Amino acid sequence: METTDLLLAIFHHILVFSLAAIIAAEIVLIRSELSPRIIGRLAGIDRAYGMVAMLVILVGIGRVFYGLKGWEFYVYNWAFWAKMAAFVAVALLSILPTMRFISWKKRVSADAGFVVPADEFAPVRTCLRAQMVIFMLIPIFAAIMVRNY
């Protein structure tokens, strides 16, 4: 149905732009000095990231099955699988930052003078940057996918 397809497309776009904004916010925050306030903010933003990512998956699956093209269009489309692989890579790269944000939040709650060790900070920043780079490949694959190029 055309209205379902339109609504799914609208939600899909809003959600993926939100996801990009959340990754960008995390990258900006991780650059600054990690005060207890910033650690709390990072942990909060990261929770939102998890929720938005889940919604992207649900709406994305909705588009595959309830979109106008039909699921067969996507399952035999290499760019669809490339897009899914990039999405999974972004999800895997988000695991370490999430674990660290939770751990830092716990440690800073127990000890207000807690300072994030450099060897824990640097890999988180690298993962976030890699996430953003791979995330930007997703709309490229999406554009190829819809045109069956």
| Residues near ligand HEM, by CB under 6 A | 12, 16, 56-57, 60-61, 63-64, 67, 69, 74, 87, 138-139, 142-143, 146
Q: At what angle do helices 118-146 and 2-31 cross, to 10 degrees?
A: 160
The nearer residue to ligand HEM, 3 or 32, going by C-beta atoms, is 3
The nearer residue to ligand HEM, 65 or 120, going by C-beta atoms, is 65
Task: Report in angstroms how near the CB of residue 126 gets to ligand HEM at its nearest.
Answer: 20
Give yes or no for a contact between 39 and 108, defined as CB atoms under 8 angstroms apart: yes
Task: Report in angstroms how near the CB of residue 76 gets to ligand HEM at its nearest.
Answer: 13
Task: Report in angstroms how near the CB of residue 91 gets to ligand HEM at its nearest.
Answer: 9
The nearer residue to ligand HEM, 30 or 79, going by C-beta atoms, is 79
- Which of 129, 108, 109 is CA-nearest to residue 117? 108
Give yes or no for a contact between 45 and 22, defined as CB atoms under 8 angstroms apart: yes
